[in-house]
Chain A
Amino acid sequence: MTALLASDLPYWAQSLLRVLGGVVAVLLPAGTIVYVFLFKMMSFMQSRLGPMEAGPYGSMQLFAEVGKWLQKEDITPERADRFIFRIAPLVVLTSTFLLVAVVPFGPDAWFTNFEAGVFYMLAVSSVSVLGILIAGWASANKYSLLGGLRAAGQLIAYELPMVLAVVGVIIQAGTMNLQGIVLAQNTGEIFGWNGLGNPYVLTQFVGFVIFMIAVQAELTQTPFDMPIAESELVSGYMTEYSGFRFLTFFIAEFATAGVFALIASVLFLGGWGIPFAWFGWEGLDDVDNWMNVVGPLIMVTKMMLLSFIIMWVRFSYPRFREDQLQRFAWKVLVPVSLVNIMFTAILKVAF
């Protein structure tokens, strides 16, 4: 952002712009995912049309929902732990905003450019576990207690495969900086042919699959949605929430889905860049300026593609039982990702 807007903006204006950009980068994907996938695609998959009343083809449905939730009474259960009950949804939402800070959208269009971007991203993504656990515990309701404990077990169990899957990418890209990973993917070549660059989804396919499964589990989506098992726990840790707090949880859930899809497209699908060889670019500095505008569009399309897969799996599969879920994480995902790291390391050294 800094180069784009020249330097006449004082520092506070730039950070204000960054905050605005961050809010848009989180809420916009959340809104589009909810409308396109949750309302429209799910209904079309079930041979119905979905909401059609609010606005043309139900486009205003999301605002109607937000309006409905806002005017609903925000109840705190009588024996709940009041303070913790209130801040739980905010904790989950902050972890999403922290996550998006590190995602690059274009050669100069990024919020921050940490050297250890991936490390920061993995650390911050586990903050939402705390939010869900205290939400479950604080609402003094047996169902949400069960939901919260299940969520704690599941999210921690699936963080390990996510981390290990990302390690493969880091070995191949050689850097932890997300901008660097995007560059490595778009300039690298597979066995000398650089027509398509080297998107890690091809060379790191196993890592990609494990990462997507772990993301599905992090978002507590259907094959792994024991914490919000509607048929047993009513709605898990969110049972006691209503009104604005439930809206925060709802936004957090889909915003995290959007941000994880963004991160997955950065790590595996070559982020904002198109293979540089097509434009004859060599490094970061000679990428043209219009890329700063086209980059975010490419990111959004890749994000929509990945969240299509996430939502498609969500609407077709039944739910794991949580001991099968844990067994699947520890006995299958972790060993496979370790093997994947070993192979990547060997191949990295060989070539």
Chain B
Amino acid sequence: MTSTESLIDRRQMAYIAAQASDARLNVELETEGMTLNIGPQHPATHGTLRIIARLDGEQVVWAEPSCGYMHRGYEKLTEVRTYPQVTALVNRIDWLGSFANEVPFILAAEKLMGIEAPPRAQHIRTILFELSRIANVSLFLGDLGVQLGAITPVFMAFRDREYVLNLIEGATGGRFHPNFDRIGGLKDDLPAGFVDETRAVMKKLRNFCDEIENLLFGNEIFQSRTRGIGVIPKDVALQYGLSGANLRASGVDWDLRRDQSLPMAWNKADWKVWTHPDGDSFARCWVRLQEVRESTRIVDQLLESIPSGPIMAKVPRIIKVPEGEAWVSTENPLGEMGYYVVSKGDLGPFRTKIRSASFNNISIVPWLLKGVYVPDIVTILASLYFILGDIDR
């Protein structure tokens, strides 16, 4: 099943779908369409996402996700909370890579106050950021297998992810919700023995990546299920604001860790940004697999060069952020997550616009699911990799 053959086949499918939707439904065969609700309680969605799909036989004529089942109203809640309370709240948006949610918010507040975390805090922040990326994306690699029917990868993912979560819990106290970031630095320093433990865990993670690559990515059935499915051209990806691995899989060489100067330690490690020209489901999964390997290398290099010094900048106990507006976005595991913080100089932010990655990543699904088979809905959703908390905020 070379990808060209599947591309022709894909164009042919799109033609059939167009036919079906135009002629309303195939009248001679008297087949009347079927509206299938996939979700909100459905194994294929990472949480409560509902997809309304109108089918003609096994082919999707029209599909549209309807979200909002997980809407907790974060932007309204941030208006009545102080800055430490918002950090505790905000790491529940993308609950798999939760330390990565706190960082852009704290950076925005620090930019408003005009202070910077000391080098040691920046270093440890970047290490924990990459650890939460590994925890998030390694679960994706396992879950990818389950969506396509293979049961074993997900157990491998959970087994190796456990080590990373134990590391995060050892350092911050919380496995899923570390709440370790403070304006001006971190709450505490690393516990003793953290560095060598992390180095051992990174080795385990690398051989987990090799195992997943052998078990899943090399598998011809997996490739025939994902190559040429859900192709997103570059300009459509940019227009919809896709970000992270979904964008890099369509050939856009853009990574926020490298292309903007943030008070973090990414520029102290040399690492490579992976892209893939095809833009199909296989490309997205492949780019994420390489990114996990790249993260383990980043963490290894950063572990070598942690500067010594204070963990917290000179910050008053009660923090009043001066008036102003700031936008900071970082390369979160799911894509670009950004906070537009408007402050009027009192204890909490006046307005926080939370730009989460999965909201844009999923807004392309109606365009993408035209003329696609039912099992491919699951493949495309698995490759786009969203988390419900990220979509619904």
Our verdict on whether A and B bind, yes or no, reads yes
* Residues of A that sit less than 8 Å from B by CB: 42, 45-48, 142, 146, 222-223, 225-226, 229-232, 234, 315-324
When distances are taken between beta carbons in the complex, the residues of chain A under 8 Å from B145 are 318
Cα(A104)–Cα(B282), bound, Å = 48
When distances are taken between beta carbons in the complex, the residues of chain B under 8 Å from A323 are 373
Selected from A45, A47, A318, the residue in CB contact (under 8 A) with B221 is A318
When distances are taken between beta carbons in the complex, the residues of chain A under 8 Å from B273 are none
Answer whether residue B88 sits at the interface, using C-beta atoms and an 8 A cutoff: no
Cβ contact within 8 Å between B222 and A318: yes
Selected from B34, B42, B149, B155, the residue in CB contact (under 8 A) with A47 is B155
Known: A232-B377, A316-B215. 13 other contacts (CB 8 A): A47-B155, A231-B149, A232-B44, A232-B375, A234-B43, A315-B152, A316-B150, A316-B152, A318-B216, A320-B224, A321-B375, A324-B1, A324-B224
Cβ contact within 8 Å between B225 and A320: yes
Cβ contact within 8 Å between B375 and A322: yes
B137-151 vs A, Cβ < 8 Å mask (1 yes, 0 no): 000000001111111
Q: How far is the CB of A83 from the nearest CB of chain B, in Å?
A: 25
Q: How far is the CB of A6 from the nearest CB of chain B, in Å?
A: 51
User: Would you list 30 pairs from A and B whose C-beta atoms are within 8 A, ordered by A residue?
Assistant: A46-B151, A46-B152, A46-B159, A47-B155, A48-B155, A146-B58, A225-B149, A226-B375, A229-B149, A229-B375, A231-B147, A231-B149, A231-B378, A232-B38, A232-B44, A232-B374, A232-B377, A315-B150, A316-B215, A317-B219, A318-B216, A319-B225, A320-B224, A320-B225, A321-B225, A321-B373, A322-B375, A323-B373, A324-B1, A324-B224
Cα(A46)–Cα(B148), bound, Å = 17
Cβ contact within 8 Å between B152 and A45: yes
Cα(A316)–Cα(B222), bound, Å = 11
Answer whether residue B116 sits at the interface, using C-beta atoms and an 8 A cutoff: no
When distances are taken between beta carbons in the complex, the residues of chain A under 8 Å from B377 are 232
When distances are taken between beta carbons in the complex, the residues of chain B under 8 Å from A142 are 34, 36
Closest to B154 in A: A46
B169-225 residues at the A interface, CB under 8 angstroms: 215-216, 219, 221-222, 224-225
Cβ contact within 8 Å between A317 and B155: no
Closest to A145 in B: B34
Answer whether residue B325 sits at the interface, using C-beta atoms and an 8 A cutoff: no
Cα(A322)–Cα(B59), bound, Å = 12
When distances are taken between beta carbons in the complex, the residues of chain A under 8 Å from B219 are 317-318
Q: How far is the CB of A79 from the nearest CB of chain B, in Å?
A: 15
Q: How far is the CB of A332 from the nearest CB of chain B, in Å?
A: 11
Task: State whether A319 and B151 are in contact (beta carbons under 8 Å apart), knowing that A146-B58, A226-B375, A232-B375 are contacts in the complex.
Answer: no
Interface centre among A229, A234, A322 (most CB of B within 10 A): A229
Nearest 8 A-B pairs (CB), nearest first? A319-B149, A46-B155, A318-B148, A318-B150, A318-B149, A231-B147, A231-B44, A321-B375
Cβ contact within 8 Å between A42 and B151: yes
Closest to A42 in B: B151
Task: State whether A46 and B149 are in contact (beta carbons under 8 Å apart), knowing that A321-B373, A324-B224 are contacts in the complex.
Answer: no
When distances are taken between beta carbons in the complex, the residues of chain B under 8 Å from A46 are 151-152, 155-156, 159
Selected from A226, A315, A321, the residue in CB contact (under 8 A) with B151 is A315
Cα(A315)–Cα(B215), bound, Å = 11
Cα(A213)–Cα(B151), bound, Å = 19
B1-31 vs A, Cβ < 8 Å mask (1 yes, 0 no): 1000000000000000000000000000000
Cα(A47)–Cα(B159), bound, Å = 8
Cβ contact within 8 Å between A222 and B149: yes
When distances are taken between beta carbons in the complex, the residues of chain B under 8 Å from A321 are 224-225, 373, 375-376
Closest to A327 in B: B1
When distances are taken between beta carbons in the complex, the residues of chain A under 8 Å from B222 are 318
Cα(A45)–Cα(B215), bound, Å = 12
Closest to B143 in A: A231
